[in-house]
Structure 1
Amino acid sequence: MQDETLALDGRSRINLALAGLLLVMAVVTGGSSQQAGTGVMLLQLASLPAIAWVIGQRLAMQGGRWPPLWTALILALLAIPLLQLLPMPAGFVMSDGRALLQQDLAQVGVALPARWTLAPDATRASFFALLPAVAIFGLVFFLPSGAQRALLWGIVALAMASLLLGILQLGAPQESALNPYPQWQPAMSGFFANPNHQATLLVIAATLVSAPLVSALKTTAGPGARRRGVTIAISVFVLLMAMTALPLTGSRAGVILCVLACALVVGLHGAGSRGANRRRLLLLASTVAVSLGLFAALRWMQVDAVDELRSPLRAATVDIAMGHAPAGSGMGSYVGVFEQEAPPAMLMGSYVNHAHNEYVQWLLEAGLPALLVMALGACALAWSARAIWRLPAHRRSAALPAFVALLAVLGHSFVDYPLRTPALLAVMAALAAIVAKAAHAAGTTPAARRSHTLPIKAP
């Protein structure tokens, strides 16, 4: 891996540097889903030349193409807010929710926005919020596998830096410069406004180090013993720090997802072990861990349904979404629409910023197009999983943990809103690019398609 990383050509070095810069900017400045300051604006501006650079590389490609499903998913995500900003035909009312809102506004002499979205400024901001993720996806996709693995270690380093900042915040006053969001009490949040999102990044880091840890433990002989020892030490340190800190963030979902994700990586990565006994042991251990995690998840869902506001909040959001079907209320319009149409029992002294379920909120804001995009994303993930599994174990060492980390964040999105933060959206884009690149290679290279049936020689 070291030789491959050092042997990067000039274009790959630029891609790695730009991707790393955008990821650092996103994590350091984009930890809030509501507050977009100067750092996020600079991030979005920096993504524009990066996207132009990616398009230039794509046009210079000799033959081949990007994975069609992932390409269609990106284009569909960008198209939704742009379509919602189009003018609406005069007198055309597309939903009952919009008609009722129009009647209410007419009583005070206010006209409804003459666009498909009820919140044009928020929808425009939602489009620009996607640009850094698009740039990172393109940059990482063009990286060779060695550079992609180096980038994964960079994401792990960012997670540890955020954790260190969170530890320091606990001993500092609320108005300290260590707290990037002084309006909130320090709570192990690190670069994030919400400690649950700090937990999400820790889950990603723990998942990513599980695969190299298993690889290092499987290889007991041959050159590189010192390097394997360093990998084991760093991976164990990251896992211990993540497992220790996750309960302190207050995220029950983070703890459960971390156990599930790490066990899944160990089990799947261990399936490539040469020894049958070792393979059975790894699979057994991962199965037990996954079973315990699923049991804990079921218990946690019962607590969530009884003791928290999230379950009725999601139900109310679904009811409102049905009133704005099929086109949705507009990207970024959730706060205003929910306050307008929430049932009396949901009216509180503080406003509801998100539905705490990405998929339900997408349904409200984008309607039927959101369902189509989610189905397209599920197809892209299913195709990628099948293609990656056809690769030999050593060639999916980066894609496998990246794929499982994607699933963990998507799972967390059922009870939270991690993808509403620029930081985690950027990290997800990098993980998705690694998955898409590996799946694309497995599907386009004849040797890759046959390699799963051939024995793997020892290095």
Structure 2
Amino acid sequence: MISAHVDMLELRRSFAFALSDIGKLANRALHDRTAGRGVEEDVLAPYLTIAVAALHGRSRPNEDELARVYGSSLPDRTRRLLHHLERSDLIALRKDFAGVQPRGSKLQSSATAIRFARRSELAIRPRMSRHSAAAPDRASTLSFWSLIAFLSILWIAGGASRADVLGQSVVRFSAWSIIVVAILALPRVNWRAVKEPAIILGAAALLVALQLVPLPPAIWTELPGRTIFTEAAVLIGMEQPWRPLSISPSGTANALASLIVPAVVLLLAANLTREQHWRIAIFVLGLVGTGAVLGVLQFSGAHFDNPLINNVNGAVAGNFANRNHFALFLAIGCVLAPAWAFRDEAPLWKFGTAIGLILIFVLMILATGSRSGLLVALLGIAATSFAFRKRAAQRIKKISRKIAAPLALVTLSFLAGVIWLSVYLDRAASISRAATLESRADLRLEIWPVVVDMVWNYFPAGVGFGTFDPVFRIGEPDALLAPQYINLAHNDWIQIFLEGGVAGMIYLAATFVWFTLRSFRAWRSSGAETGSRVLGKTASIVLVLISVASLTDYPGRTPIMMALSALVAVWLANVFSRKELDRTSASGD
């Protein structure tokens, strides 16, 4: 018996085309599968039904027909469907201020008239005035271009974590300027789209701000690790003053001020449509590629002195001050490239381009000398391969076996050959450093036990965020004294425990629970592989990579990584499935 593999994704799309009656149209160019490309399979049939209505010159779809193809006659579910299609930038809704509805209509007049926003393959033009179309579009358009500009500024000036670099002033001035523009120009902010990440960021800001609240001497002097300050006041004969929990209030104030970066990202991302989120993802991939080009120039011997960050002469660090952070940036590119290629039924050239980009990024990571970056990149490639294995299999099936097998063999052989040649010519600094690790080659292994002891010395109150440098100098052993000072713990997880105490631990635990629940929603196998789920999986992987890199460094303290973390958190929080759409509240917008 001859059996054939059933492509469920193609079957669902074929069924949607059959339900929508789009094949009955006179325009035969609309009958192929390019119509509705990129539309989630769960809502493809209603989308095509609306397309048919628009092509017939109607300003609204037939409600009974829409209910039939969607599988529900409840008006609330239909209204939420329309709002979801509008947020995905597939259609646009306008209010019917005349209050006239068709006889027997169950939908409210505020969500009936439609136009198509971007599907050029359907050749449909807006049927409404420019005045009525501008109001819902201006917020998303302004937010989109503002976010593009802000990410560009971060790429140039946001690659360092030190508080005294000029780039911090540039980034924060830009952030506050964008907030002022948003207050004056944005007609609306859809906070519901970023509610969960905003709560997490707000909790972080509250935790840091509370460390700046002055405490009475009777409480402050009883906090662990404050004896040296209490005795200093006694020695000089000064009365014990009111002090905040933070040992270095200026450092904690700087930590609080740095949160303006993710706050701006959430503000702008709140208004973006699904399509605009994808364009932002592609733009970030472009920034990674531009950083790789800069890294190639540095690798070739060219010297770039960026006055906005603290460059290390001779280091291959791209637009970052730290090569480990640059390697993580490239590893994130290794995740975004296949996500872009497998977003929808994209042509095969995207698949090949993604593989080429991953190859370039991996080779650049080898050149940076970052061992942790190489590990994170391999983890990201493995996780992405698993996440998009089904879509990759569908692309490969379209290639003849006579071509696919030799092509795969040549690609793997080329990759292995380039890596071997890099090692042989001593150009793969990451592998060389991993193979020649000496006892004092990595100072992290010596400072971590000291930091762990400090955690318990100051537990449960902590020392205050942004205070590691002065606090470490208090307990630094003589054996670690050197011309270079240790500004951070090079393990953000331990440093958060030190600076935040038990409150920091609780915050991390709550954030981890949120991340786990949202990642489960994005990765679960039930339902169609919608565009939002692809973004959700990508976001989950990126956050894991940043978390793993934080075990040996502090990437989350650079403005550009803070912005990317906030952006992908929005993607993870807005994974869509049909069941969740049905459970959305009646307000739905």
The TM-score range, normalised by the shorter chain, is 0.7 to 0.9
1:121 aligned to which of 250, 264, 275: 250
Q: How does 1:214-229 map to 2 (within 5 A)?
A: 214=342, 225=347, 228-229=348-349
2:149 aligned to which of 21, 24, 27: 21
Matched-pair contact (CA < 8 Å) for 2:311–2:321 = no
1:260 aligned to which of 349, 363, 379: 379
AA partner of residue 74 (structure 1): L
Cα 1:14–1:68 shift into 2, 3 Å: closer
AA partner of residue 267 (structure 2): G
1:365 aligned to which of 488, 492, 499: 499
Q: Could you tell me how far apart the structure 2 residues matched to 1:402 and 1:96 are?
A: 39
Matched-pair contact (CA < 8 Å) for 1:214–1:266 = no
Matched-pair contact (CA < 8 Å) for 1:132–1:426 = yes
Q: Could you tell me how far apart the structure 2 residues matched to 1:268 and 1:42 are?
A: 38
Q: CA deviation at 1:132?
A: 1.1
Cα 1:302–1:417 shift into 2, 3 Å: farther
Matched-pair contact (CA < 8 Å) for 1:246–1:254 = yes
Matched-pair contact (CA < 8 Å) for 2:323–2:370 = yes
Higher relative contact order (CA 8 A, sep 6+): 1
1:318 aligns with 2:452: yes
Aligned length: 418
Q: Could you tell me how far apart the structure 2 residues matched to 1:423 and 1:131 are?
A: 12
Q: CA deviation at 1:66?
A: 5.2
Matched-pair contact (CA < 8 Å) for 1:210–1:262 = no
Q: CA deviation at 1:129?
A: 0.5
Cα 1:37–1:311 shift into 2, 3 Å: closer
Q: CA deviation at 1:152?
A: 0.9
1:394 aligns with 2:513: no
| 2:210 equivalent in structure 1 | 83
Give the match's secondary structure for 1:345.
Answer: helix
1:446 aligns with 2:582: yes
Matched-pair contact (CA < 8 Å) for 1:54–1:138 = no
| 1:282 equivalent in structure 2 | none
Matched-pair contact (CA < 8 Å) for 2:376–2:545 = yes
Matched-pair contact (CA < 8 Å) for 1:27–1:424 = no
Q: Could you tell me how far apart the structure 2 residues matched to 1:65 and 1:148 are?
A: 16
Q: Could you tell me how far apart the structure 2 residues matched to 1:240 and 1:109 are?
A: 66
1:132 aligns with 2:276: no
Q: CA deviation at 1:59?
A: 7.3
Q: CA deviation at 1:318?
A: 1.5
Shifted more, 425-434 versus 165-174: the winner is 165-174
Q: Could you tell me how far apart the structure 1 residues matched to 2:578 and 2:444 are?
A: 41
Cα deviation code 1:199-255 (max 9, x no counterpart): 010011111112233567xx5xxxx64xx42x2343233212111010111111111
Give the match's secondary structure for 1:446.
Answer: helix
Using the size of structure 2 for normalisation, the TM-score is 0.63
Cα 1:244–1:300 shift into 2, 3 Å: closer
AA partner of residue 535 (structure 2): A
1:246 aligned to which of 356, 360, 365: 365
Shifted more, 242-251 versus 318-327: the winner is 318-327
1:236 aligns with 2:236: no
Shifted more, 256-265 versus 351-360: the winner is 256-265
| 2:175 equivalent in structure 1 | 47
| 1:193 equivalent in structure 2 | 321
Q: Could you tell me how far apart the structure 2 residues matched to 1:320 and 1:58 are?
A: 49
Q: CA deviation at 1:190?
A: 1.4
Q: How does 1:370-381 map to 2 (within 5 A)?
A: 370-381=504-515
Cα 1:154–1:32 shift into 2, 3 Å: same
| 2:200 equivalent in structure 1 | 73
| 1:30 equivalent in structure 2 | 158
Cα 1:164–1:35 shift into 2, 3 Å: farther
| 2:140 equivalent in structure 1 | 12
1:408 aligns with 2:545: yes
Matched-pair contact (CA < 8 Å) for 1:140–1:434 = no
Q: CA deviation at 1:141?
A: 3.9
AA partner of residue 255 (structure 1): L
Cα deviation code 1:115-134 (max 9, x no counterpart): 11111111111111011112
Q: CA deviation at 1:49?
A: 5.7
Shifted more, 69-78 versus 424-433: the winner is 69-78
Q: Could you tell me how far apart the structure 2 residues matched to 1:363 and 1:42 are?
A: 30
Shifted more, 85-94 versus 180-189: the winner is 180-189
Matched-pair contact (CA < 8 Å) for 2:324–2:370 = yes
Unaligned runs of 5+ in 1: 279-295, 449-459
Cα 1:302–1:328 shift into 2, 3 Å: farther
| 1:150 equivalent in structure 2 | 279
Shifted more, 304-313 versus 70-79: the winner is 304-313
Cα 1:316–1:212 shift into 2, 3 Å: same
Matched-pair contact (CA < 8 Å) for 1:54–1:135 = no
2:338 aligned to which of 210, 223, 226: 210
AA partner of residue 272 (structure 2): L
Shifted more, 44-53 versus 416-425: the winner is 44-53
Cα 1:215–1:42 shift into 2, 3 Å: closer
Q: Could you tell me how far apart the structure 2 residues matched to 1:67 and 1:263 are?
A: 29
1:100 aligns with 2:228: yes
Cα 1:60–1:149 shift into 2, 3 Å: closer
More helix per residue: 1 or 2?
Answer: 1
Cα deviation code 1:333-388 (max 9, x no counterpart): 10000011122332222210110111111111111111011111101111111222
| 1:432 equivalent in structure 2 | 569
Cα 1:171–1:261 shift into 2, 3 Å: closer
Query: Aligned Cα RMSD in Å?
Result: 3.6
Q: CA deviation at 1:77?
A: 0.7
Using the size of structure 1 for normalisation, the TM-score is 0.80
AA partner of residue 251 (structure 1): S
2:517 aligned to which of 371, 383, 389: 383
Cα 1:26–1:195 shift into 2, 3 Å: same
Cα 1:345–1:178 shift into 2, 3 Å: closer
Matched-pair contact (CA < 8 Å) for 2:305–2:311 = no
2:472 aligned to which of 338, 342, 352: 338
